[in-house]
Amino acid sequence: MYREQNGGDGTGPKTPLFTTHDGITFRRMPPGADAVYVVGEYRFDDIRPDDRVLDLGANVGAFSIRAARRSGHVTAIEPILTEALRENVERNGGGVEVVDGALGTGESVRITWGKKTLAVTTRTLGEFAAAAGGCDFLKCDCEGAEWSIRPDDLDGVRRIEMELHVPPIGGPVNRRLLDYIGEHYDFEIERTPGYDVMGVMGVLHAVRKDGHRRSAGQRLTRRFR
């Protein structure tokens, strides 16, 4: 559903808007970018009211705005589209802390989305989690930067929703991270994402478990050989 909205006094320029089937309104993005409005393959129905949710690679807020309907502790990290993200969060009632940033190991990188490119100094998952007061639920869509996550930074993370990439997007695959996830989480990988892009391996859905099973980690690593 599409609708136009005037400036606040009725005389300003019209802002093109897009409203989804579940009632979230976004600033209209360029043609061909419609996928940014939907959560797609990510699962979020088990977000708890007291979960500290980190959305790494928040884009325009499709996940984080919906997560804020379930938890009062949502932090969205985005390197490029923070202006649209903040506008969308405010338009839908707030409840999301927006942070300019990108996942990495502290290095400076150039990140491009559409026609915009920025130089960004990255931060680790541990740094973002510490600033947010912790992380119980992690959603990560960082175009290959997920392999920079240090396994120890997942300590305490109950749930993971993460898009996994292989060359030509990102890499190399971090097998230490895969081993850690295999030991500490029950998981599955949807191998057909909501859109078909070369370099997208699939989406990891992981729930932290009790006990340790190395065999699970070995199975997960083998998927990436």
User: What is the pLDDT confidence band of residue 192, given thresholds at 50, 70 and 90?
Assistant: low
d(CA 75, CA 63): 11
d(CA 179, CA 214): 7
d(CA 75, CA 14): 29
Residue 54 β-bridge partners: 75, 138
Instruction: State pLDDT tens for residues 8-41.
Output: 444 455 679 999 999 999 999 887 677 899 998 8
Please report the pLDDT score of residue 15 as a whole number.
73
Instruction: State pLDDT tens for residues 37-81.
Output: 999 889 999 999 999 999 999 999 999 999 999 999 999 999 999
* Mean pLDDT of the region 149-177: 91
Per-residue HEC secondary structure of 120-140 comes to EECECHHHHHHHHCCCCEEEE
Output the CA–CA distances (angstroms, integers) from residue 60 to 32, 57, 104, 130, in the order listed.
14, 9, 20, 23
Instruction: State pLDDT tens for residues 68-122.
Output: 999 999 999 999 999 999 999 999 999 999 999 999 999 999 998 888 899 999 9
Listed in sequence order, the DSSP H helices in the chain are 62-67, 82-91, 125-132, 175-184, 214-222
User: What is the pLDDT confidence band of residue 202, given thresholds at 50, 70 and 90?
Assistant: confident
d(CA 33, CA 119): 22
Backbone angles phi, psi at 89, to 5 degrees: -60, -50
Q: What is the CATH number of domain 37-222?
A: 3.40.50.150
Q: What is the pTM of this model?
A: 0.86
**Domain map (residue ranges) of the chain:** 37-222
* Mean pLDDT of the region 198-217: 68
Cis peptide upstream of residue 172 (ω within 30 degrees of 0)? yes
User: What is the pLDDT confidence band of residue 171, given thresholds at 50, 70 and 90?
Assistant: confident
Please report the pLDDT score of residue 19 as a whole number.
95
